[in-house]
C-alpha cells in the first residue's frame, strides 16, 4: 500500500494524543498527577494538539475533503465513522474535564467523571482506528490478530513517553509513570515483533488461481498487464518496498522506536532532576522517529489482493 505521509502522521500523532488523554483522564481523578493548574493546561493542550493535528492530517488524504462530514453517517458499518464520532465525543468530554481541572482546580465529582468518560472514549477511539485496518480482509498484513493489540500498545507507549517527560517538569514523583512507560515500551516492542513474525512467515489465502476462479483448469498466469499506464489502483495499492530497504527500516524502528526509549525509561527510574528530563526527552524524540518508520512500514509492507491482477503471485 502507498504510505501517504498524512496517514503515517495521523496514526502516529492521534494515537499518542488520545492515549495521553486516557492517562490524564484516569490519573487526575485518582490523584496520581501533579496538583498544578499549569501542568493540567500544558498536558491537555499537548494531548489535544496531537489528537486534533492527527485527525486533521488524515483529511488531507481524502480525494474530496469537503465531503469528510458524510463519514459520520455510516457508523453502523464503518469503523472510520465510529472513530470520527468517538473522537468528537472524546474531545467534548475532555473539554468539560479540562475546564474543571484547569479553571477551577478540581478533578473531583462531575469533573472527575468527565475525565474518566474522556479516558474511556479515547481508548475506544484508538481501538476503532486499529479496527479500520484490521477489518480489511483483502490485506493479509492487516487482517490478523496482532494489528489492534499492537496499535493499542504503540499508542499507550507514546502517550506514556509524553506524560513521563511532562511530569518531570512539575514533580519529583515520577517513579510510577517511569515504570509504566518502561512496561508499555516493552509490551509495544513484543507485539510489534510478533506482528512482523506473522507477516514474514504466513501469506494471504488469495492467489491468481483463486482470484480468477480458473485454478481447476490448470496453472494460471497473466498474459499482459490490464493497463498500459499507471492508474489509481497501482499508485495506492501496488506500492512495493525492496527487501533491503524493509530490513533497514525495521532496524531503525527497533533501535529508535523501542531500544532507545526502553533504555531511557530504565535510566529514568533512577535519574532525576535535569538529567532525568534530558533522558526522558531523548527517549521521546527517538520514539517519535522510530514510530514514524514503523508506521511507514505498516503501510509499505501491506499487499492488497487487487495486485494479483497486476502480476503478483499471491497476496
pLDDT in tens, 83-123: 999 999 999 999 999 999 998 888 888 999 999 999 999 99
**Does residue 315 lie within any of the structural domains?**
no
Cα radius of gyration (the chain): 22
pLDDT digits (tens, 9 = 90+) for 12-48: 999 999 999 999 999 999 988 988 889 999 999 999 9
**Does residue 109 lie within any of the structural domains?**
yes
**Does residue 80 lie within any of the structural domains?**
yes
How many folded domains does the chain comprise? 1
Place of cell 514503523: 294
Give CA separation, 73 vs 69, 93, 188, 199, 210, in Å. 8, 21, 33, 34, 35
**Does position 179 have pLDDT exceeding 80, yes or no?**
yes
**Does residue 195 lie within any of the structural domains?**
yes
**Does position 6 have pLDDT exceeding 90, yes or no?**
no
Q: What is the pLDDT of residue 249?
A: 93
Taking residue 246's Cβ as centre, other Cβ atoms within 10 Å add up to: 16
Q: What sign does the CA torsion over 59, 120, 124, 180 have?
A: positive
In the structure, what pLDDT confidence band is assigned to residue 69 with cuts at 50, 70 and 90? low
Give CA separation, 44 vs 39, 48, 94, 159, 239, in Å. 8, 6, 8, 12, 38
- pTM of the complete model: 0.90
**Does residue 113 lie within any of the structural domains?**
yes
Q: What is the pLDDT of residue 68?
A: 66
Map residue 309 onto helix, strand or coil: helix
- Residues spanned by the domain of 42: 5-61+68-215+223-310
Give CA separation, 22 vs 81, 107, 143, 164, 242, in Å. 21, 14, 26, 14, 38
What's the rounded Cα separation, in Å, for the pair 244 and 159? 31
- pLDDT, average across residues 182-203: 94
- pLDDT, average across residues 283-287: 95
Map residue 8 onto helix, strand or coil: helix
Please name which of 208, 227, 236 lies closest in space to residue 302, comparing C-alpha atoms. Answer: 236
Q: What is the pLDDT of residue 250?
A: 95
Q: What CATH number corresponds to the domain at position 209?
A: 1.20.1630
**Does residue 32 lie within any of the structural domains?**
yes
Please name which of 236, 253, 248 lies closest in space to residue 294, comparing C-alpha atoms. Answer: 253
In 144-234, at which residue ranges do the beta strands (DSSP E only) sit? none
Amino acid at each position: 500500500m502507498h504510505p501517504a505521509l498524512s496517514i503515517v502522521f495521523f496514526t502516529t500523532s492521534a494515537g499518542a494524543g488520545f492515549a495521553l488523554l486516557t492517562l490524564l483522564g484516569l490519573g487526575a481523578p485518582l490523584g496520581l498527577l501533579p496538583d498544578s493548574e499549569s501542568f493540567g493546561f500544558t498536558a491537555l493542550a499537548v494531548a489535544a494538539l496531537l489528537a486534533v493535528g492527527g485527525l486533521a492530517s488524515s483529511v488531507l488524504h481524502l480525494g474530496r475533503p469537503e465531503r469528510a462530514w458524510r463519514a459520520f453517517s455510516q457508523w453502523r458499518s464503518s469503523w472510520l465513522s465510529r472513530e470520527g464520532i468517538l473522537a468528537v465525543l472524546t474531545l467534548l468530554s475532555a473539554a468539560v474535564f479540562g475546564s474543571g481541572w484547569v479553571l477551577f482546580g478540581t478533578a473531583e465529582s462531575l469533573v472527575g467523571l468527565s475525565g474518566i468518560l474522556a479516558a474511556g472514549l479515547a481508548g475506544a477511539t484508538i481501538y476503532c482506528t486499529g479496527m479500520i485496518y484490521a477489518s480489511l480482509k483483502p490485506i493479509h498484513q492487516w487482517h490478523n490478530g496482532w494489528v489492534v493489540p499492537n496499535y493499542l500498545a504503540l499508542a499507550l507507549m507514546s502517550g506514556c513517553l509524553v506524560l513521563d517527560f511532562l511530569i518531570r517538569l512539575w514533580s519529583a514523583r515520577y517513579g510510577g509513570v517511569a515504570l509504566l512507560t518502561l512496561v508499555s515500551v516493552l509490551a509495544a516492542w513484543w507485539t510489534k515483533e510478533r506482528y512482523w513474525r506473522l507477516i514474514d512467515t504466513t501469506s494471504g489465502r488469495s492467489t491468481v488461481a483463486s482470484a480468477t476462479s480458473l485454478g481447476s483448469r490448470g496453472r494460471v498466469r497473466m498474459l499482459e498487464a490490464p493497463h498500459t499506464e499507471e492508474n489509481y489502483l497501482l499508485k495506492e495499492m501496488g506500492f512495493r518496498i525492496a527487501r533491503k530497504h524493509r530490513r533497514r527500516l525495521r532496524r531503525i524502528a527497533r533501535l529508535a522506536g523501542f531500544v532507545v526509549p526502553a533504555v531511557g525509561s530504565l535510566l529514568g527510574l533512577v535519574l532525576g532532576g535535569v538529567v532525568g528530563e534530558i533522558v526522558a526527552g531523548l527517549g521521546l524524540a527517538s520514539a517519535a522517529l522510530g514510530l514514524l518508520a514503523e508506521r511507514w512500514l505498516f503501510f509499505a509492507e501491506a499487499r492488497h489482493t487487487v495486485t494479483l491482477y497486476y502480476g503478483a503471485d499471491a497476496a
